[in-house]
Amino acid sequence: MRPSKKVEILNAAVELIEQGGLEAVSFEALAQASGMSKSGIVYHFPSRYEIMRGIHQHLADQWEQELERAAGGPACTVDTPTRMRAVVLSLSHSATKAELLLEIDARSNTEFSAIWQQVDERWSPSPQDIEDDDIQRAQYLVQLLADGLWVHDYVHEHQLKPAQRQALTEAILSMLD
């Protein structure tokens, strides 16, 4: 099935971010990248803010779909270990530049942050009670390890090789047992 025009615009915007950062997203650049007219872009996204909100929602939706595939269903239908396993598996690949920049960008805007927080609250453990609850602390440590694996290649000089990434993923997953 052919993606909708709106999805095509969002995918083009993500690619622009991947190539040139958040600042690369403009109506002109999107029109060129998507092959649509500027007025066609404005029809779907009347402002740059709406484009950026749309990108955040688009990627958050993709992440939730990935989590659901890994877990075998929506968060509300699976148990905590299954949700945690899905989170680890979804974060076992290296973040893309666009994913990382959008996650950072979301923290400076409450509406964008709320988009990601909704997915996070359904799937990830809460840091609440980690001081006193061994299970909560262990689950949160697994989350932190998975987060670290996801950003590793952007904060360390040497990128992980696929076999190294797989070995680390398996080690993190073994902590769920």
Mean pLDDT of 130-152: 96
Residue 59 neighbours by CB under 8 Å, 6+ apart? 14, 98, 99, 102
- Which pLDDT score is estimated for 7? 94
pLDDT (mean) for 129-139: 94
Per-residue DSSP letter, 157: S
pLDDT at 177: 83
Q: How far apart are CA 38 and CA 82, in angstroms?
A: 44
pLDDT in tens, 63-92: 999 999 999 999 999 999 999 999 999 999
pLDDT above 90: percentage of residues in the chain: 97
pLDDT band at residue 3 under the 50/70/90 scheme = low
CA distances from residue 162 to 31, 76, 92 in whole angstroms, order as listed: 36, 32, 10
Q: Give the domains, in start order, of the chain with CATH numbers.
A: 1-46 (1.10.10.60), 60-174 (1.10.357.10)
Q: Which whole number is the average pLDDT over 102-115? A: 96
